[in-house]
Copies of this chain bind each other. A is one copy, B any other.
Amino acid sequence: MSETTLYNYEKLANFITNLIDDGVYVKGARIPSLRQICKQHKLSLSTAMQAYHLLEDKGILESRVKSGFYVANRPSNTLATPTTKSTNNQATLVNNSDIFLEMLEHSSNLDFAPLGCAIPSADIMAAGKLNKAIARAARVNGAQHNIYTVPKGDLGLRKQIARQSLKWGQNISPEDIVITCGCTEALSVALKTITKIGDTIAVECPTYFGQLQLLKALGLKVLEIPTDAHNGIDTAALETALNSKKISACLFSSSINNPLGMTMSDAKKLQILALLNQYDVPLIEDDIMGDLYFGETRPKPFIAFENSDNVIYCSSFSKTIAPGYRIGWIVTKQHMPQIMDNKLATSLSSPTLTQVAMADYLSSSGYENQLRRIRRIFANNVDRMTRAIEQYFPAGTRVSRPSGGFLLWLELPYQIDGKALFKQALDKGICFAPGTVFSPNPEVDNRFANCMRLSCGHEWNEQIDKAIQTLGKMAADAKNP
């Protein structure tokens, strides 16, 4: 499965990129001609040309007329990655700032440069085929679908979702799946099932603000576990927290976390599962970005490993196909009866037509094609945005190297106040997510005051390029007023 996710020209492009990164070809060096490379790799000329043009487009190669292809003098990967913040091992209630609501309000405003909301542009999503499916379902069987589904959700859809788990070598039963109103309801129902008000939940740091909002509404306390942009959760810190017996549950990303874009290794996941089993603490995993990996294989979620009985898996199609359809799901065996109690009490069931249409869509090969397409677009967007940041932002800016998805996390020089920058940017018609909204209690400990998250969910265009240029200029001015 993994090998088929890349076309031959992409494999060749990766091969050459690796050689450059490893220093085999240095800046300004001439790389093998198209003819040579075709011979070496037994590829067609058109495949090699596609690879070279992709690398040219990414700014990795440059072509010189009648001379060939050279390693470009590109600045890419020159910026350091964000630092890992230590936390104080203190649980806190969520007390997020007014800036959070201000951000939410503006991030869906189409007049703003779309760097705030973690939602890909509608053009990139799979609305076309899905909307045909819903129109068909409404026309052909509409009256029949105008009833509540069974409490777990449409069986056809649950079968299709179960099928998805084959991608990571698992075989989930449709009976262990419950359809929810997006990943938010999945997480909300999961948290309600295994926690009570006042409990403490361990989360990654920085923490996705949607999770913070959820924990706030449920009256739960948050304990941040330091999370490295490369290696993920600090397991020593996690063990200390577990050992203090203060933790009722963990809420971690499966892969490609928000905002760092980091994916932990399988070994690390096994280590975390072992720790949680030792202390008998359940894990809720959020896999909403999992299908958007840039690597060769779909990263495994925690439930794919042994000894994951106490894991509740949550995901949705909001980042891959259809934010507007609000279809998420939970996978659990052990906690199913309580999950069902809570789902019934939260929203009874989810809409029927949207589920039927999604099942129809997933039963075609459309989803795999869609994923291949958007992974490519996002990888390119992230690359373009990174280069733009390198070009426009002041020295000392750090930027994440996401393993997938469409989010970049920036750490600006310490002098820069992200909140002031956010207000300034709004005045210029630019919306981003200020670092402060990724802290549970920024008034007490605003460790991400000089950070920001930028969304690369829209195809690169002049407005976005201009917005990054403007932001970079503002940041530079703030650094040296």
Tell me the A residues contacting B by CB distance below 8 Å: 104-105, 108, 117, 119, 122-123, 125, 127-128, 130-132, 134-136, 138-139, 142-151, 180-182, 184-185, 188, 192, 196-197, 210, 213-214, 216-219, 322-326, 341-342, 344-354
CA distance in complex: A105, B197 (Å): 30
Counting from the closest, the 7 A-B pairs by CB-CB distance are A131-B142, A217-B345, A131-B138, A324-B352, A135-B135, A127-B146, A181-B347
Partner of A122, one of B104, B143, B350: B143
B143 touches A345 (CB 8 A): no
CB distance from A314 to the nearest CB of B (A): 13
Closest to A104 in B: B151
Partner of A347, one of B132, B218, B326: B326
Given A144-B122, A146-B122, are A345 and B139 neighbors across the interface (CB < 8 Å)? no
A218 touches B345 (CB 8 A): yes
What B residues does A125 contact at CB under 8 A? Answer: 143, 146
What B residues does A150 contact at CB under 8 A? Answer: 105, 108
Partner of A119, one of B148, B323, B326: B148
Partner of A108, one of B117, B143, B147: B147
Partner of A353, one of B123, B324, B342: B324
CB distance from A357 to the nearest CB of B (A): 8
- A-B contacts, 21 of them at CB < 8 A, read A104-B151, A108-B147, A119-B147, A122-B146, A125-B146, A127-B146, A128-B142, A131-B142, A134-B142, A135-B138, A181-B347, A185-B346, A197-B219, A214-B345, A216-B341, A216-B345, A217-B341, A217-B346, A218-B345, A324-B353, A326-B347
A213 touches B341 (CB 8 A): yes
B127 touches A143 (CB 8 A): yes
Max count, chain B CB within 10 A of own CB: residue among A135, A182, A197: A135
CA distance in complex: A161, B443 (Å): 39
CB distance from A93 to the nearest CB of B (A): 13
Partner of A323, one of B138, B147, B217, B218: B147
B217 touches A348 (CB 8 A): no
What B residues does A322 contact at CB under 8 A? Answer: 146
Closest to A327 in B: B351
What B residues does A345 contact at CB under 8 A? Answer: 184, 188, 213-214, 216-218
What B residues does A341 contact at CB under 8 A? Answer: 213, 216-217
CA distance in complex: A216, B149 (Å): 22
B217 touches A344 (CB 8 A): yes
Closest to A197 in B: B197
B134 touches A147 (CB 8 A): no
CB distance from A105 to the nearest CB of B (A): 8
CB distance from A174 to the nearest CB of B (A): 16
A181 touches B181 (CB 8 A): yes
CA distance in complex: A322, B345 (Å): 19
Partner of A348, one of B132, B135, B326: B326
A324 touches B138 (CB 8 A): no
B197 touches A323 (CB 8 A): no
